[in-house]
Chain A
Amino acid sequence: LAKTTQPISMDSYEGQEVNITCSHNNIATNDYITWYQQFPSQGPRFIIQGYKTKVTNEVASLFIPADRKSSTLSLPRVSLSDTAVYYCLVGAGTRGSYIPTFGRGTSLIVHP
């Protein structure tokens, strides 16, 4: 089971780019990397998923180096509404072999 490590908290200001890095040294060959966002009093919401190199959608970009032992979630030009907890998950599998592990996540606070 791949374990992830990410910073407990980060601070930023409106308009800045924010990069949150997640370490997953024992990632397996068939593991995907998935990021979620959670606002207070709500369930997590899927942001982005990738396997290698770079993935971009309308919300964020995900950078994955060749060795896949880490990944970086990039949020361009954050606003106050991006204040949330961000979780990095690593895993894959079929028929119940994948047990999602959210951990404590990274609490991002965006200041005016």
Chain B
Amino acid sequence: DAGITQSPRHKVTETGTPVTLRCHQTENHRYMYWYRQDPGHGLRLIHYSYGVKDTDKGEVSDGYSVSRSKTEDFLLTLESATSSQTSVYFCAITSSSYNEQFFGPGTRLTVL
């Protein structure tokens, strides 16, 4: 399995609090992605990165920000969590934008 971890794996928080999810890779892959998965919606791309300090928005980026200060870490931040952001969040990595993506184990976030 690709060396990709996510932390925390589970988190319960309250509306209005900031939350940061971390994706860490040991593969030195260039591309990293954050997705959310909700029933009836499949996986939807939030943000992605194509290099250190190079990031861009996906289809559901409102309410989220990201940062990538080094190759191995891609952080997803919810500045002020809302109940609509309750979801399972997956991080993925790939060496090339059209090559196979390797996914992390996911983070289950509940916003009360």
Contacts and interface: CB of A to CB of B under 8 A. Distances in A.
Contacts of A85: 42
Interface in B85-109: 90, 92, 97-106
B14 interface: no
Nearest to B100: A46
A102 B98 contact: no
A64 to B, nearest CB: 15
A43 B106 contact: yes
B42 A99 contact: no
Given A32-B98, A43-B92, A96 B48 contact: yes
B98 A93 contact: yes
B44 interface: yes
A81 interface: no
Size bin of chain B's contact surface = 20 to 34
Contacts, number: 62
A96 to B, nearest CB: 4
B74 interface: no
Contacts of B105: 42-43
Contacts of B99: 49
B50 A102 contact: no
A8 to B, nearest CB: 10
A104 B41 CA distance: 5
B97 A95 contact: yes
Interface string A13-47: 00000000000000000001010100001111110
B43 interface: yes
Contacts of B97: 92-98
Nearest to A105: B42
Contacts of B58: 99
Given A92-B97, A96-B56, 6 more contacts: A34-B100, A42-B106, A44-B90, A46-B101, A96-B48, A102-B35
Interface of B: 33, 35, 40-45, 48, 50, 54, 56, 58-59, 90, 92, 97-106
